[in-house]
A and B are shown apart, each in its own frame.
Chain A
């Protein structure tokens, strides 16, 4: 791993043209980006690949943004979600999923502000993840299993936490 790890971003929005340009910009700036065009697709993708931050549109056909981020977090508990909302829907969004999302942002979102939020979301994710990872590692090393068992358990942990 490099000193500045690339942030893995999952984009979810039914507005395909918007995602096309947004992902091109993010990729160019060195982020790892996966664009998906529905909540269902995003959930499917998240089963195979790990992400740090998801940017999810609130209003989509099929499962909406709030539901999508709930399901994403069931698969990857440390994933931080930024939910993009139209005007006036922030209140409804807050009611339905306040504790879940990292942040709600008003659409159309300003690119620079989005980058700032993504960075902050990433920091939060790493902090939470490292903390729990350390606790788990500590639990394994003090569990009294042999060197081989420890190595195996830790490699298992790596997989769970999406650390390659």
Chain B
């Protein structure tokens, strides 16, 4: 009887203790839950085989999936390279905690999400492994910044190199220019030339002079690019500048069926910026449009130049009905020296220089292109 009594007391004590543990457990779980719910990181747990049994809210946000879509899936299938991830997971089995600095996952929409991944072995009281816990921090933005820095560094280096070459080429160019100018004068005064020969020679000399000027423009552009001088600020009308830019290209437009359509906002579009730099960008975009149309061999070419003004920005777009840019080339168009033109026709400098200029004056370039339909480039630049 007495033993029964003591048993009762013992049971009561255990029950009380258990209730205490329950509260404690509840608190701990709440604590862990709040971490899981509020962390921006991907925090997951898997069973031994890698099947997901828990996934944090932050993880859902970073990778674009809901937990319902993920439950029961293998964690390695979320990685960009499942084999690599599996390898890393098995290598982590030896140690308790392992970190990989830079492992990409695949977002639901397909883009890469670079993560700093730490894996922790989950073991039971007997020391047997029962699963894995992972904490992954999204470092995509950081990585992109790093890549940008490398790119900027490389651009600067190429710029310096190109500037050196351009500098050396300037002197021979000057001589070619003077020599052809002299030849022109001699031909002008020469006697005994047939009218036909004279016109042939005049044409040839004119071509040499013209092409020399073109080379000089390239070297000056390159040197400008490398120098990164501060842009000037003057007030001017974008519409006038656009018309002048088209005027420069009259020779290119001759003997083509290309029509230029100005779709300007009413009145002048005044801004304070660097007109010389902007003009260079305009001429470049219009030239590209002309080439794209010529390449498409359409009966009727059309370049639409449109302007708009918002509170603080001017928006200028150039739309052509040329060949368009294939999707696989679209991310390369701003790369230095990237060109699809035959050797000797394109320098691969045009668009990177444009981008450099627009960045310099605080604006942005965007574009949209469809093969067979055409391309439109839009620049947004601050009004002051």
Contacts and interface: CB of A to CB of B under 8 A. Distances in A.
Interface of A: 15, 17-18, 21-22, 24-25, 28, 86-88, 106-111
Interface residue SS majority, chain B:
helix
Contact of A106 (B166, B179, B220): B220
A24 B182 contact: yes
Nearest to A88: B227
Given A88-B227, A108-B171, A110-B213, A28 B177 contact: no
Contacts of A110: 213
Interface string B158-201: 00000100110011011101110110010000000000000000
Most A CB contacts (10 A, CB to CB) among B178, B181, B185, B213 go to B178
A86 B213 CA distance: 16
Given A15-B174, A17-B175, A107-B174, A86 B167 contact: yes
A21 B175 contact: yes
Given A86-B170, A108-B170, A108-B173, A21 B178 contact: yes
A143 B179 CA distance: 54
B373 to A, nearest CB: 41
A107 B227 contact: no
Contact of A18 (B167, B175, B227): B175
B223 interface: yes
Contacts of A107: 170-171, 174
Nearest to A110: B213
Contacts of A21: 175, 178-179, 181-182
Given A87-B167, A108-B170, A108-B171, A22 B227 contact: no
B178 A22 contact: yes
A88 B171 contact: no
Contacts of A108: 170-171, 173-174, 177, 216
A111 B177 contact: yes
Contact of B174 (A18, A24, A25, A88): A18
Contact of B171 (A15, A25, A28, A111): A15
A86 B173 CA distance: 13
Contacts of A22: 178
A108 B174 CA distance: 5
Most B CB contacts (10 A, CB to CB) among A25, A86, A87, A110 go to A87
B353 to A, nearest CB: 15
8 contacts: A17-B179, A18-B174, A22-B178, A24-B185, A28-B182, A86-B167, A111-B178, A111-B181
Given A87-B227, A108-B171, A110-B213, A28 B178 contact: no
Most A CB contacts (10 A, CB to CB) among B166, B173, B177 go to B177
B248 to A, nearest CB: 16
Nearest to B176: A108
B223 A28 contact: no
Most B CB contacts (10 A, CB to CB) among A15, A17, A88, A108 go to A108
A28 B185 contact: yes
A107 B169 CA distance: 11
B175 to A, nearest CB: 5
Contacts of A24: 182, 185
Nearest to B166: A87
Contacts of A88: 223, 227
Interface string B221-249: 00110010000000000000000000000
Nearest to A16: B175
